[in-house]
Amino acid sequence: MHLTSLSVWAATWLAGQTIALDLTVSKTGGNASSPLLYGIMFEDINNSGDGGIHGQVLRNNGFQGTSPGLTAYAAVGNVNITQDTSNPVSSAITSSLKVSVPSGTTGYVGFANTGYNGVPVLATTYSNSFYIKGAYSGTVNLRLVGTSSGIVYADHNITVTSTAAKFTSYETSFESSQADDANNEWQLRFDASKVAGKSLNFGLVQLFPPTYKSRTNGLRNDVASFLAEIKPSFLRFPGGNNLEGASPSNRWKWNETIGAVVNRPGRQGDWTYANTDALGLDEYLYWCEDMGMEPVLAIWDGLSLGGGIVTGSALNPYIDDVLDELEYVLGSTSTQYGALRAKNGRSEPWPVKYIEIGNEDNESDGCSTYASRFTAFYDAIHAQYPDLTIITSTTSSSCLPTTLPDGVMTDIHHYLSPDSFVAQFDEFDNYSRDHPILVGEYASTTGNDGSTTYWSYMQGSCAEAVYMIGLERNSDVVQMASFAPLLEHFDLAEWSPDLFGLDSSPDSITGSTSYYVQKMFSTNRGTTILPVTSSGDFGPVYWVASVSDEQVYYVKLANYGSTAENVTITVAGTTHGSLELLTGGETVSNYPHDISITPTTSTVSGNGTFKVSLPAWAVAVLAVS
């Protein structure tokens, strides 16, 4: 702190008054800001994929993972239901649901699926499909019903002609009215008198409310739209730990996540539950295309979470597998895998430019072998695709090759307490500019006392904002940054905190305080970071200024402190704009079904000078022109 400002600050501190801070934004100088700075990271954790952003809302529809059992299924009427492995739907979906009807049964009977702790029942149109095997000609009745209330929200009949020889698939759509809560189920019923004393088999039941951009097998429109409000620039996927697998054979396998969903076997994910992989490689890339995001595709590099790291020549099949994956993504339709992509509905190659080799190879005993594993993958990929930007999964120099090839980016992750994030404000101020940085995962996950954070609260979100201000000030070298994890199903979360969440009740989507910080920072971006002269040093107020190509000046501010601060901001030549403000007490948080803080926006005007009253624990963005 400068001596003169020290005395002013000391005097006001002693007087118990708020401190005035003057910031003058220079209109010249500064450094370029990465256009990709604010993005998102996604893996299926907390049922954020199945039961989260993916549009299909019925659970256990492929009996996948290590112990599917009859999870989410229930008999409707006088029937017996069992998992039937002797009637697989396909070579990938190796079980179906057998519905046995006792002799003499009449009326409509069948089975229910209760989704991911309820089926979201909205006033909208649903697409519904299922497979059926067994002799049956007649009506199949599809319903959305309150599990406890018995209220019928949707009731739809189709005519089915099924034989015992093979599975036949049916697809239909119907309208529903909205339920009050999540306690709902989907039912499939048929005429018991036609099946009495016999059984029918059903498989791969699928139910979709409207999808984002109306994609087939797409994302839930309401969830994806809420996410798109952040305007993220990139998507890092598919993990995270969920890339790695408990063993090499259990890793995320790109070629088992493509094509018709009935041909995807799914896997036991790394976050304790089965992944259907209906959200697969192509769906991730459509997601990127539909939200205007740059894909950052992570590939498996020999490290799995249960030990058994693959090294040396044993890596060769996995390297070949990655080259096949890249041919699928990038190859022309005259290549083997490019042709497969076209067969799966996408002729044009995907515009993938960033490949990350592994995930957190500084962890899980990966460090000592990462340099050689990275080099093996890098050499093979770079030889065929010299224009791809390759990313290391760690910045730890002890895990990296002594000399990293030019153009390689490095990924760093931080899960910290609020104070620790603030201490990292200047992390990149004097950092080497030799290799660009991806901050691929970060979040304030504990309180300063070490307690686990359940949902982000203002102190932690302010600390993240302070850190992000540090990133933006250094966004010549920090090219991408993403909070993690992104999303949780409230009832099915393994990790907290998460950026936003939902359950199966209407209007459940909840943004954390950190979601709003991400949104404020991402939707107010300049192209050049501008120098700022100040009457005081950083802390408790932190700031960064930028200007866009359209000559809008942005000043981002965070007050990581318990007293209000008055800030006077001068940007010569500007006259008007807006101030977006997120504030609440130090421990104030949004919770599932209890949103107490969202940003407010006010208009501002001035003759090049704007006065901002920054409450305690506040994040603000001034945008003026």
Q: What is the full DSSP assignment across 130-150?
A: EEEESSEEEEEEEEEEETTT-
Cα angle at 486 between 464 and 292, to 5 degrees? 100
Shortest gap between Cβ of 502 and ligand AHR (angstroms)?
18
- Which residue among 176, 241, 369, 482 contacts ligand AHR (CB under 6 A)? 241
Nearer to ligand AHR, 239 or 540 (CB): 239
Cα angle at 295 between 290 and 301, to 5 degrees? 145
Closest CA to 531 of 571, 500, 495, 568: 571
**β-bridge pairing 600-605 and 478-483:** unpaired
Q: Across the chain, how many H-helices and E-strands are there?
A: 9, 34
Nearer to ligand AHR, 443 or 620 (CB): 443
**Residue nearest ligand AHR by beta-carbon distance:** 240
Q: Should residue 170 be labelled a site residue for ligand AHR when binding is judged by CB under 6 A? A: no
Shortest gap between Cβ of 360 and ligand AHR (angstroms)?
5
Give me the phi and psi of 372, to 5 degrees please: -75, -40
Nearer to ligand AHR, 211 or 241 (CB): 241
Q: Which stretch binds ligand AHR (CB under 6 A): 155-163, 207-215, 234-242, 288-296?
A: 234-242
Q: Should residue 498 be labelled a site residue for ligand AHR when binding is judged by CB under 6 A? A: no
Cβ–Cβ < 8 Å for 241, 252:
no
Q: Should residue 223 be labelled a site residue for ligand AHR when binding is judged by CB under 6 A? A: no
Q: Should residue 495 be labelled a site residue for ligand AHR when binding is judged by CB under 6 A? A: yes
Shortest gap between Cβ of 493 and ligand AHR (angstroms)?
11
Separation of alpha carbons 129 and 96, rounded Å: 14
Shortest gap between Cβ of 32 and ligand AHR (angstroms)?
29
Peptide bond just before 497 cis, omega within 30 deg: yes
- Which residue among 120, 485, 501, 592 contacts ligand AHR (CB under 6 A)? 485
Q: Should residue 43 be labelled a site residue for ligand AHR when binding is judged by CB under 6 A? A: yes
Nearer to ligand AHR, 108 or 495 (CB): 495
- In angstroms, the Cα distances linking 600 to 358, 499, 578, 622 are 40, 19, 10, 12
Shortest gap between Cβ of 424 and ligand AHR (angstroms)?
17
Nearer to ligand AHR, 127 or 410 (CB): 410
Nearer to ligand AHR, 46 or 87 (CB): 46
Shortest gap between Cβ of 67 and ligand AHR (angstroms)?
22
Separation of alpha carbons 369 and 357, rounded Å: 13
How many residues touch ligand AHR (CB under 6 A)?
Answer: 11
Shortest gap between Cβ of 239 and ligand AHR (angstroms)?
6
Q: Which stretch binds ligand AHR (CB under 6 A): 23-31, 62-70, 238-246, 375-383?
A: 238-246
Q: Should residue 411 be labelled a site residue for ligand AHR when binding is judged by CB under 6 A? A: no
Nearer to ligand AHR, 43 or 565 (CB): 43
Nearer to ligand AHR, 115 or 485 (CB): 485
Separation of alpha carbons 81 and 113, rounded Å: 12
Shortest gap between Cβ of 237 and ligand AHR (angstroms)?
11
Separation of alpha carbons 569 and 25, rounded Å: 7
Q: H helices within 350-417, ranges in order?
A: 367-384
Q: Should residue 47 be labelled a site residue for ligand AHR when binding is judged by CB under 6 A? A: no
Shortest gap between Cβ of 445 and ligand AHR (angstroms)?
9
Nearer to ligand AHR, 211 or 369 (CB): 369
Cβ–Cβ < 8 Å for 575, 499:
no
Q: Which stretch binds ligand AHR (CB under 6 A): 236-244, 292-300, 347-355, 598-606?
A: 236-244
- In angstroms, the Cα distances linking 485 to 87, 239, 549 are 38, 10, 32
| Strand locations in 495-540 (E) | 500-502, 510-511, 528-530, 532-534
What letter represents residue 622's amino acid? L
Q: Which stretch binds ligand AHR (CB under 6 A): 167-175, 237-245, 317-325, 328-336?
A: 237-245
User: Within a 10 A sphere around the Cβ of 233, how many other Cβ atoms?
Assistant: 22
- List the interface residues with ligand AHR, window 350-389 (CB under 6 A): 359-360
User: Within a 10 A sphere around the Cβ of 270, how many other Cβ atoms?
Assistant: 25
Instruction: Please write down the HEC assignment for all residues of 550-591.
Output: CCCEEEEEEECCCCCEEEEEECCCCCEEEEEEEECCCCCECE
Cross-strand bridge partners of residue 416: 444
- List the interface residues with ligand AHR, window 424-453 (CB under 6 A): 441
Nearer to ligand AHR, 283 or 361 (CB): 361
What letter represents residue 490's amino acid? F
Q: Should residue 245 be labelled a site residue for ligand AHR when binding is judged by CB under 6 A? A: no
Q: Should residue 240 be labelled a site residue for ligand AHR when binding is judged by CB under 6 A? A: yes
Shortest gap between Cβ of 510 and ligand AHR (angstroms)?
19
Separation of alpha carbons 601 and 301, rounded Å: 46
Nearer to ligand AHR, 127 or 456 (CB): 456
**Interface pattern 302-341 for ligand AHR (x via CB under 6 A):** ----------------------------------------
Cβ–Cβ < 8 Å for 513, 584:
yes
Shortest gap between Cβ of 538 and ligand AHR (angstroms)?
28
Would you give the distance in Å from CA 307 to the centre of its chain? 26
Shortest gap between Cβ of 607 and ligand AHR (angstroms)?
47
Point out which residues bind ligand AHR (CB under 6 A): 43, 45, 239-241, 359-360, 441, 484-485, 495
